[in-house]
Amino acid sequence: MAHRSFYWSCTSFADWIRGIPKPDASNNWSEWERKAKKAHPLRYWIAEDVLDAMQNLLWWPMDKIADVKAYIANRWIIRTHALIAHPRNLQRGQWHDVGSRFLPCLFNELVDFVEIEIAGHFIAWGDEETRKKYNAPFWVNWKTWRCPQAGLDYLDWAMTLTHNQWLHESEKHRIQQPTQQALAAREIRELYTWWTEVYSKRPDPYETDCKEPHEIQKAYEAEDTAMLVRLMHVRNRLWV
């Protein structure tokens, strides 16, 4: 199914049918789903399954058009099958060893994730005021529009998310504690900041007046490795 900007099962009308509102953000959807089904099983089925089926039927032509657009974008525009470093990190037309490609390719993808994917998601789910705030163009859904501030603002919002009332009884002690989404957002922001503000400004140890350039280079490499490990730990949260 093509990605949609909204689903009928997530509207206020669906909440009215279901009898239980769907939370804006939750770290335990399975627990919310269990309680909602138990409270009003028939109404839950209508709100979740019947409305989705009706929307799928009515939106079938638009979904197919969106699928074609998504294929074109994925194949030739944003090329989601490839990892490509920015020219400022790896010069085009020059030889680069495999080991030297890992860091810039992966962190350039992180930058694009924050500045393009997260920023676009923030706009797509925001209101008209949000779109105007960031001066978002109409082609934002093609994932070519870049807005670092919109991506960072979304992460700042996600970092404030806490567990709500939909936790299981055995986990009630976690209410008001940060969700996994909040913890991941904090880690993503720290990694993004390191790459864009720390790594990019590190002086070349062999071009400065220092006594131990080899030791400084070793420290740089250790820091790079540690950051790559952190990025690998958060990789499963890099989606919107």
171 lies in the same domain as 70: no
115 lies in the same domain as 182: yes
What tens digit of pLDDT does each residue of 135-189 get? 888 766 667 889 999 999 999 999 999 887 666 666 667 778 899 999 999 999 9
Residues of the chain under the 50 pLDDT cut: 1-2
pLDDT of residue 198: 97
The residue segments making up the domain with residue 175 are 86-240
pLDDT of residue 79: 82
48, 82, 116 — which closes off a domain? 82
pLDDT of residue 141: 62
119 lies in the same domain as 52: no
1 lies in the same domain as 112: no
pTM of the model: 0.80
Distances (CA, A) of 187 to 117, 129, 192, 226, 228: 17, 28, 9, 13, 12
183 lies in the same domain as 133: yes
User: Look-up: residue for tokens 């880690």?
Assistant: 187
138 lies in the same domain as 239: yes
82, 111, 130 — which closes off a domain? 82
pLDDT of residue 240: 83
pLDDT of residue 130: 87
116 lies in the same domain as 200: yes
pLDDT of residue 132: 87
26 within 8 A of 166, measured Cβ to Cβ: yes
H, E, C per residue of the chain: CCCCCCCHHHCHHHHHHHCCCCCCCCCCHHHHHHHHHHHCHHHHHHHHHHHHHHHHHHCHHHHHHHHHHHHHHHHHHCCCCCCCCCCCCCCCCCCCCHHHHHHHHHHHHHHHHHHHHHHHHHHHCCCHHHHHHCCCCCCHHHCCCCCHHHHHHHHHHHCCCECCCCCCHHHHHHCCCECHHHHHHHHHHHHHHHHHHHHHHCCCHHHCCCCCHHHHHHHHHHHHHHHHHHHHHCHHHCCC
116 lies in the same domain as 221: yes
82, 107, 135 — which closes off a domain? 82
16 lies in the same domain as 58: yes
Report the domain count for the chain. Answer: 2
